[in-house]
Amino acid sequence: MPYAFLPDVARPAVTVDMLVFTLVDGALSLLLIERGLPPFRGRLALPGGFLHVGAGGRGGEALDDAAARELLEETGLGREQVTLGQLGAFGRPGRDPRGRTITVAYYALVRPDAARGVRAGSDAACARWAKVADLDLDALAFDHGGIVAEALVSLRRDVDRAGAALALVPATFTARELREVHEAVHGHRLDAANFDRRLRRLIDDGLIEPTAETRATGRRPARQFRAAQRGARSASTAARPSSHVGRI
Amino acid sequence: MPYAFLPDVARPAVTVDMLVFTLVDGALSLLLIERGLPPFRGRLALPGGFLHVGAGGRGGEALDDAAARELLEETGLGREQVTLGQLGAFGRPGRDPRGRTITVAYYALVRPDAARGVRAGSDAACARWAKVADLDLDALAFDHGGIVAEALVSLRRDVDRAGAALALVPATFTARELREVHEAVHGHRLDAANFDRRLRRLIDDGLIEPTAETRATGRRPARQFRAAQRGARSASTAARPSSHVGRI
DNA sequence: ACAAAAGTGTTCGAAGTACACCCATGT
DNA sequence: ACATGGGTGTACTTCGAACACTTTTGT
- Predicted local distance difference test score (pLDDT) of residue B112: 94
- Predicted local distance difference test score (pLDDT) of residue A4: 74
Name the residue type at position A143.
Answer: D
Provide the pairing of β-strand B82-90 with B48-50: unpaired
Contact B96 A11 (CB under 8 A): no
Q: Is A128 helix (H, G, I), strand (E, B) or coil?
A: strand
Q: Is A224 helix (H, G, I), strand (E, B) or coil?
A: strand
Within a 10 A sphere around the Cβ of A31, how many other Cβ atoms?
24
Residues A19, A148 contacting (CB under 8 angstroms)? yes
The answer to whether A203 CB sits below 7 Å from nucleic acid chain C is no
Distance CA B94, CA B142 (A): 9
Distance B191 CA to D11 C1' (A): 16
- Predicted local distance difference test score (pLDDT) of residue B231: 52
pLDDT over 80 at B68, yes or no? yes
Report residue B91's pLDDT band, with 50, 70 and 90 as the boundaries. very high
- Predicted local distance difference test score (pLDDT) of residue A203: 92
Contact B38 A13 (CB under 8 A): no
- pLDDT, tens digit, for every residue of A81-101? 999 999 999 999 999 999 999
Rg for chain B, CA atoms, rounded: 20
The answer to whether B215 CB sits below 7 Å from nucleic acid chain D is no
The answer to whether A219 CB sits below 7 Å from nucleic acid chain D is yes
How is B171-200 classified by DSSP, letter by letter?
SEEEHHHHHHHHHHHHSS---HHHHHHHHH
Any idea which of A106-120, B38-52, B72-86 has the lowest mean pLDDT?
A: A106-120
Residues shown for chain B: 248
Contact A10 B55 (CB under 8 A): yes
**A238 Cβ contact partners less than 8 Å away, ≥ 6 residues apart:** none
The answer to whether A220 CB sits below 7 Å from nucleic acid chain D is yes
Distance A186 CA to D23 C1' (A): 30
Contact B11 A9 (CB under 8 A): no
- pLDDT, tens digit, for every residue of B122-171? 454 588 999 999 999 999 999 999 999 999 999 998 888 778 999 999 99
Expressed in angstroms, the distance from the first to the final Cα of chain B is 39
- Predicted local distance difference test score (pLDDT) of residue A116: 86
Report residue B3's pLDDT band, with 50, 70 and 90 as the boundaries. low
